Every structure is written in C-alpha cells, then in structure tokens.
Amino acid sequence: MTNKYRIGVMFGGRSGEHDVSLMSARSILRALDPQKYAVTQIGLTYDGNWLIGDDAIEAFSQSETGRLAPAFIIPDPSWPGVYQINRSEQGLQLACLAELDVIFPVLHGPFGEDGTVQGLLEMAGMAYVGAGVVGSAVGMDKGVFKNVMRAHDIPVVEWMIVNRSEIEQDPQQVIKRAMQLADFPLFVKPANLGSSVGITKCNSRSDLFEGLFEAIRFDRRVLIERGIARVREIEVSVLGNDNPQASVPGEVIPSREFYSYEAKYIDNRSELLIPAPLSPELTRRVQELALRAYQAIDCAGMARADFLLEKNSTAGETENLFLGELNTIPGFTNISMYPKLWEASGLPYAALVDRLIELALERKRERDRTECRYRGGG
C-alpha cells in the first residue's frame, strides 16, 4: 500500500447533474489501476452530506446510503485526508478514515464544478484534478465566461443574463427584452449548470415563458441566447496545465432537436463523428480557440470546448464559428466525448486518468512554490 497513490474520488453532489456524476465516477473507478492506486470513494448527497464506505458508488446508485459513514475534509493542510467524528465515553473524537494524496472531484455542476469544492481543497492544501477556483468559477458561469471570451476576441453567440428575481417579478418584460436580442428560436439555460439540464429551445413567446421558469428551478441566473437554426456542434478536448494540448475535434449529431439531456444519456441514439469532418484549416481554428479559451480563464487539468458552426442558409456551407462553453469537469462516462476524443488522439481512457492525476500533483507542486509569508526586501 505504501507505494500506491491514495486517491479520493468524489461524486454525486448538490446539483441537477447528480446522476451524471455517478455515471462518470463509475467509469473512472473502473479505470483506476488497483496496482497503482488505493482508492477511497466519497459520495455527496443531494443535501450536501459527505458519505464514505466500501463501494459507496453502488450505495448511491441504489439509493441505499444508510450503511455509509459521515465524513468531511478539514480545511487545514496538516490534516490531509477524510475524517469523521466519533462519540465515545471520553467525548467527541476525530478519526481519520483515509489519508489522501489526490482528490478526483467528479462533481458536475454547482458545488463541485464551480470553484466551491476547489476552494475547500486549496484551504486543505490537497492536490486535486482539474481547474482551480478561478478557472472553475468562470468556466461554470455562462454569462461571466462569455464576457471573458469577448474580452479575448473569441467569438460567442449573442446573449443576455437575467436573474430569477427579474423573471418572477415581471416575466413579460424579460420576454420583451429577449425578443429584442434576436428572433426565435432562442435558448434559455441555467447559467451555472451543464449536461443540458434545464435547457429549453424556444420557438414562441409561450415557449420562452415556460423555459424561463424551467431554468430558474436550477439557478438564480439565467442565460438567454440566440438560437442557430442551421448548426453543427463541434467539441474539442483540452489537457494540461501551463502548456495544454488539444485533441482532434469531434462532431455531435443529436438524436433530438438539440443535444438535450435525453439525447446525451437516455436514448443512446446520438451519433459522434470522430474525427469531425472538417477542413484542415477549420480543425486548426477550433483547436487554437479551445487553447486560447482554456488559458484565458486559467484552466488546468482538463476541459471540453463546445463550438457551434453556423451554416449558410443559402449555400449550405459553414460560415460562422462560435465558442459555446468550456466544461472544466466534462462528462467521463463510457459514451462521453471528452475521453473518446483523447482515445482518437492516441491516449486511451486509463492512460488519460493517469495523466490527470499526474497533472494534479504537478499543479500542487507549483502551488507549493508560492511563498505565503512576506519577509521584506534587502
């Protein structure tokens, strides 16, 4: 055991993407070589409770978490692990359930992909897979992300952000403003969620009204975005810290009107074209923009860049390229585009997981070089 890396895999969470997280985590757990890693499974419930135990992923999948033990991480670098509080005749006692070298947060959406868990792990001085606080937070909030992309001259589709309070107080005024943004179709999305949860394609005022109230179920900030009637969906995987690399691009052919949650995870009829049938020039362009966006938000470890190619309505040719979003904890299921693109680029799933753990340790070493005490100059 002493020569193995001690890995904590976190999954579940307080998010509409809870179930997707379980699917991703199950695939990652299968890929972790038991000869290299001692793995601790850490599940987070919908209520935010941390639970640990043998085969916790199965307990979460079956909604039978009663046998698992409550756990937590202490935001103190001198306590590197997962702990619980035991009651005894001597009073409350702190017990270490597992010491850890690296945390792999497979937590899609809020309270996992948005910088919150990353902030806790930074306070605890722990190595973890993926982007830091800033990269996670900016990548998660679609409105803030678009503002940063515009500042870096990276093309994005026209959008506006509204708050839940605006929608609840005067939905018709919000609808009026949205219709001034662009003609139908419009897309309404929770600003801080992924996996197409809470997204509505709106072709009328009534669709827009329903879509707004669907989105505010999942977030207090809502993105309204111009819909592209004739579009191709292109994705690129990015891997690395200060010197990231881009995979070959892939194209998604949704089984439904758009790449909805059902099209991604339920009906298994969406088609993935890997590599995407693009010209060499366009391939280089999407890879370049993916890397620029990744570095613009100080991303690390991994991300998946999602692009929209707008087709010319008369000639049927693609003419406009837009970056939709950057997913800092992309889906990791056996059908997810992120690992599939790396496999097509020569990096198999298990080797990809190994590389992400190496990048987490590399970033931790770099963080540890930063001095936190000012001693004054000579």
- Here the CATH number for the domain that contains residue 342 is 3.30.470.20
Is 222 domain-assigned?
yes
The structure's pTM equals 0.91
Q: Indicate which CATH number applies to the domain containing 185.
A: 3.30.1490.20
Which DSSP string corresponds to 190-223?
ETT--TTTT-EEESSHHHHHHHHHHHTTT-SEEE
Nearest to 113 by CA among 139, 87, 89: 139
Average pLDDT on 344-355 reads 98
Q: Are residues 316 and 351 in the same domain?
A: yes
Q: Are residues 240 and 310 in the same domain?
A: yes
| Cβ–Cβ < 8 Å for 30, 57 | no
Each residue of 337-347: pLDDT tens digit?
Answer: 999 999 999 99
Please report whether residue 277 resides in a domain: yes
How big, in percent rounded to 5, are the helix, strand and coil portions of the chain? 35, 30, 40
User: Is the domain of 187 the same as that of 41?
Assistant: no
Same domain assignment for residues 282 and 151? yes
Name the pLDDT band for 315 (thresholds 50, 70, 90): low
Phi, psi of 80, rounded to the nearest 5 degrees: -80, 85
Let me know if residue 214 belongs to a domain: yes
In this structure, the answer to whether residues 251 and 164 fall within a common structural domain is no
pLDDT score of 195 more than 60: no
- Shared-domain flag, residues 218 and 267: no
State the residue range of the domain holding 95.
Answer: 5-128
Q: Are residues 185 and 61 in the same domain?
A: no
Instruction: Name the domain count of the chain.
Output: 3
- Pick from 226, 247, 281: which residue ends a domain? 226
Question: Residues 39, 122: one domain?
Answer: yes
Instruction: Out of 195, 226, 257, pick the residue that ends a domain.
Output: 226
Residue 250 near residue 337 (C-beta atoms within 8 A): yes
CA dihedral 340, 344, 346, 349 (to 10 degrees): 20
Residue 375 lies in a domain: no
**Same domain for 269 and 356?**
yes
**267 and 294 housed in the same domain:** yes
Question: By C-alpha distance, which of 106, 103, 164, 109 is closest to 137?
Answer: 109
Decide which of 207, 226, 245 is a domain's last residue: 226
Give yes or no for residue 32 having a pLDDT over 50: yes
pLDDT 10s digits, 49-79:
999 999 999 999 999 999 999 999 999 999 9
Question: pLDDT tens digits, residue range 212-261?
Answer: 999 999 999 999 999 998 899 999 999 999 999 999 999 999 875 654 44
**Tell me, what's the pLDDT at 15?**
87
